[in-house]
Every structure is written in C-alpha cells, then in structure tokens.
Amino acid sequence: MSESDPPVSTGSGDEGMTNLLGGGRVAKDDKRIALLGEVDEASASLGIARAETEDREVKELLLELLRLLYRVMGDLAMPEEQNAVGPEDASRVDEALEEWRERTERDLRGNQRDTTPRHLRGDNPISHYRGRCDGMG
C-alpha cells in the first residue's frame, strides 16, 4: 500500500463492533452510534443554516447550538468520561429557542420582514432535513 492507495480496512476484521472515542467498543448497530449519526446530521443542517442566514443574532444562536451539539457528540463518544453537557445547557437552549420564537412572532405581528431562516422555508434545498431533526430533543 502507498499513500496514494491507502487500505480500505484495517484487515483485522471488526466483527460488527466499533471503537468509541473514550475507549471501549460497541456494536455498530448500538443506539449510541445511531444517535451520533443523527446529532451529526443535525449539526450539519445547523451549519448550513448558519452559513445561509444574514441575521447576526441568528448566526450567534446557531453557533451556540452547534457548540452544544459538538459537546453532546463528545459525551456520546466518551461514555466513561464526565459529561460536558449538563442541565444548564438544556436550560440555555430552551431559553434561546423561546427568545427566537417570541422575536419571530413579534416580527410577524408587526408585518415586518420574514424572519424565518432560509433553512426552515420549503424553498430551500435543506428543508427536507428538518423533518429528520424534529423530535430529537
């Protein structure tokens, strides 16, 4: 094998198991692995939404949520370590989303511009991801 032709596998066989970041192995069909994939997709969607929005406050909120999801993924991948995400994080997310909901309702009542982030509108190519992320809370 060369650098231009790397191996596709380790060659040792995995027997349907995968390594966790913090050590240990779990089955590839373990719920933790599936959840890591879902959180990763949610993170990708939020990243696209952040890149698309021009609203500074929305960018900041999305960045905060992305950083939280990054820590959630670390917690999932390192089950033996102390969790980085705690109840205060969940409270902050709830507060941020409530602030966003109130702001959006206020803007819409005032017949101002449409504050719906582009990623949540049906005319956006990533809108189909939204349904996959609903109910992950």
- pLDDT tens-digit map of 65-87: 899 888 888 888 887 777 788 88
The domain spans of the chain are 31-133
| SS3 at position 105 | helix
CA distance 44 to 70: 11
The count of residues in the chain is: 137
Q: Dump pLDDT digits (tens) for 100-127.
A: 788 778 877 775 555 666 656 665 544 4
Cβ-based neighbour number of residue 58 at 10 Å: 18
Cβ-based neighbour number of residue 72 at 10 Å: 19
